[in-house]
Amino acid sequence: MRKIRIDADVESIADEFQLELDKHKTEILQAIRELKEKFDGSHSLTRKGTAMDAAEVKKCYDYIDQLENDYDNGSLTLMKPNDFEKTHQTYKGYLKDQELKWSISIDRDKATPLHRRLTGAMGYQTIVRDEIYPPLMRKMGIKACVYCNANYTVSAEKGSGKGYFELDHWKPESKYPFLCTSFYNLQPCCPHCNKRKSASDKYEFLKLYEEDQNVPLDVFEFQITKGSIVRYFNKLDTSHIKVSFKATDASVKKLRNDAEQKFGIEGIYNEHIDVIEEMLWRAKFYDNVIVGSMTWLYGKRNSIVDVARFKLGTYAEEDEIHKRPLTKMMQDLGKQLGII
């Protein structure tokens, strides 16, 4: 919904991520090496019930060997998004995207797609998603889905009921398993968007971290028409309230259309009309006299109360939209209605 510029603050969190991951480096390298050795020619490897031929086995071995080297020299964890594709080309030299889906049985164990075995060896789920990542996301203030900004990213685990952060790989792990624990490829999102995005990576708007200084961070805008506001107050009927999802200008219209088509943004937001109704009342209630008194009362006390946040009912700074669901829409409408 809004990109995050890779600046010194983000880089310092990414450095912490690397430090934490480094504590597991020996164990992860060992797991990668053990997986590689399964393809050294001395094991029984079958695919769809048929023995794999020597050329296929060698390709897998070379792929994992490249991964082991890159993991060992530390080039993957903090790789920047602009380098993802170039690295992908190197890995594609060993195994094509489709070949990573080969469901392989090793020494008669349960057939498992190769990319799953790779992400398992790299500790994506157990070490990164469940252990290292959550405290860092709390630090970054990301609790809302980076795609729709309408839902929280926390899910409960099946069985244990334990909460965990739903994470998406911008470059899907089925095609880019070597990036499965790369900081700038991990994007917190809601279960709804994770399901709808699936393995898609062709849309530019899906990328969260931006290293290019000239790329705008925010190209979407929510709007409510003046007519719908008038009609609502005439009848006090919320069915007159409609929110629309727009591109900030014609040059980014394709990004908007892609986001709408992929996640159904307008449909989701028009289910939150009660929030907009409260905003319409807030815009009427907080006249200059009330705001003046609030500022006089609280503004002086070293900002104990953030007056803009109080009036809006959520975070009021543009770079805070990831802290709480619906904040992007509330900020956009708050500006339109003169609340902030």
Which residue in the set 148, 265, 279, 337 belongs to the binding site for Zn ion (CB under 5 A)? 148
Scan residues 117-136 and list those touching Zn ion (CB under 5 A): none
Is 145 an interacting residue with respect to Zn ion (CB under 5 A)? Answer: yes
Is 35 an interacting residue with respect to Zn ion (CB under 5 A)? Answer: no
| Shortest spacing between CB 196 and Zn ion, in angstroms | 8
* Site stretch for Zn ion (CB under 5 A), options 118-126, 191-199, 218-226, 251-259: 191-199
| Shortest spacing between CB 152 and Zn ion, in angstroms | 9
Q: Please name which of 113, 108, 69 lies closest in space to residue 91, comparing C-alpha atoms.
A: 69
* Site stretch for Zn ion (CB under 5 A), options 98-106, 158-166, 167-175, 189-197: 189-197
Of residues 38 and 197, the one with the C-beta less far from Zn ion: 197
| Shortest spacing between CB 210 and Zn ion, in angstroms | 19
Rounded to an integer, what distance in angstroms lies between the CA atom of residue 68 and that of residue 177?
12
* Site stretch for Zn ion (CB under 5 A), options 53-61, 91-99, 193-201, 279-287: 193-201
Rounded to an integer, what distance in angstroms lies between the CA atom of residue 297 and that of residue 118?
58
The residue with tokens 């392989």 is 104
Which residue in the set 71, 147, 209, 232 belongs to the binding site for Zn ion (CB under 5 A)? 147
Complete DSSP assignment for 95-157: S-GGGGG-EEEETT---EEHHHHHHHHTTIIIIIIIIIHHHHHHHHT--B-TTTSSSBSEEE-
Of residues 148 and 186, the one with the C-beta less far from Zn ion: 148
Is 259 an interacting residue with respect to Zn ion (CB under 5 A)? Answer: no
Complete DSSP assignment for 257-297: HHHHHHH-HHHHHTT-HHHHHHHHHHHHHS-HHHHHHHIII
Taking residue 108's Cβ as centre, other Cβ atoms within 10 Å add up to 9
Question: Is the torsion defined by CA of 309, 312, 317, 321 positive or negative?
Answer: positive
| Shortest spacing between CB 291 and Zn ion, in angstroms | 33
Give kind and range of the element (H or E) at residue 209. strand 209-210
| Shortest spacing between CB 43 and Zn ion, in angstroms | 42
Which residue in the set 4, 137, 193, 243 belongs to the binding site for Zn ion (CB under 5 A)? 193
* Site stretch for Zn ion (CB under 5 A), options 81-89, 118-126, 146-154, 167-175: 146-154
* Torsion angle defined by CA atoms of residues 69, 70, 74 and 78, in that order, rounded to the nearest 10 degrees: -170
Is 241 an interacting residue with respect to Zn ion (CB under 5 A)? Answer: no
Of residues 127 and 148, the one with the C-beta less far from Zn ion: 148
| Shortest spacing between CB 208 and Zn ion, in angstroms | 12
Strand partners, 209: 4
| Shortest spacing between CB 204 and Zn ion, in angstroms | 18
What residues make contact with Zn ion under the rule CB under 5 A?
Answer: 145, 147-148, 190, 193
